Amino acid sequence: MSTRPRADDGAERAPRRGKVTLPELARMKAAGEPIAMVTAYDYPSACVAEAAGVDIVLVGDSAAMTVLGYDSTVPVSMTEMLVLAAACRRGLRTPLLVGDLPFGSYERSDEQAVENAHRFVKEAGCDAVKLERGGTSVDRARAIVRSGVPVMGHVGLTPQTASQLGGFKAQGRTAASAARIAEDALALQEAGCFAIVFEAIPAAVTELIMPAMEVPVIGIGAGPATDGQVLVFHDLLGVLGGRTPKFVKPYANVREQMVAGVAAYVREVRTRAFPGPEHTYGIDPEELTAVRQRLAELREERRQRVGV
């Protein structure tokens, strides 16, 4: 048995405000107020995002690697994403919740895209969905928006098709590549996306594109000119350890603290220092005497039954 965390737990809390909506995000862009977005994949991390005052929580398909142990984002399924998104929903009140449509859940047709977008809203309680790339994804985005579900776009480095881009590398480093990113971003904007993620794009390229963007742009490795920033929860807190992308700034080393805590527990278990008297339950002496007597009776009954 464990204690369920509360969404507002935390020693330091951001000022409380109302629910973040699409009009609020548009207002923040117009006012030049930076938008803070993080990924989160479960109830505890959602509670942390809530307490910290995050504006948008993305249940990213990066959960495939950070939570589920896959080698890439490609294998994660809609079923897995829905479970994670629903868990986040239970930990959030204020941030806008966005579900990331996984690879294979929207490419086939507009009908498939709309159906799975609706599942994120109906089954997981998401406020919006996200999809990657331009091209046919623009048509999918337009169809989903028309069906009543807000859509966030994603251009630049798109992890679902990273192999086609030469791996997890910065995009837009040539004139042709930068132009494609701009074209995709503008097409997604025209399709009705309420916001677009720019990932792993040279800061100078982002600065050139931003004047044409009428919707909020959230950057991840795209420089400071965007309307907001997003980082993966496990990267910014150092949950997994190991190498992190160039654009990540670790704000904590949670893995180190977790390993130290579990190692201390293991040592105390093996030396019988844990549990101590303060961690155990008591019983009234008379009740203990009755228990002892009953156990003696049970032993005798068993002895007679088996003939020992």
Instruction: Name the binding residues.
Output: 61-62, 100, 130, 132
Structural tokens at position 284: 């009234």
For residue 80, count other CB atoms closer than 10 A to its CB: 17
Annotated binding site for 3-methyl-2-oxobutanoate: 61-62, 100, 130
For 244-302, what is the HEC assignment? CCCCCCCCCCHHHHHHHHHHHHHHHHHCCCCCCHHHCCCCCHHHHHHHHHHHHHHHHHH
Residue 68: CB atoms within 10 A of its CB come to 15
In angstroms, rounded to a whole number, what is the distance separating the alpha carbons of residues 139 and 165?
21
Q: Please tell me the distance from the alpha carbon of residue 259 to that of residue 254, in angstroms, as a whole number.
A: 9
Annotated active-site residue in 199, 256, 297, 301: 199
The H or E element containing residue 129 is: strand 128-130
Catalytic annotation present for 12? no
Spatial CA neighbour of 87 closest among 56, 59, 49, 106:
59
**What's the Cα-to-Cα distance from 226 to each of 93, 171, 194, 266, 289, rounded to whole Å?**
25, 16, 14, 46, 71
Distance CA 125, CA 5 (A): 20
Distance CA 274, CA 260 (A): 16
Numbered residues of the known binding site for Mg(2+): 61, 100, 132
Catalytic sites, residue numbers = 199
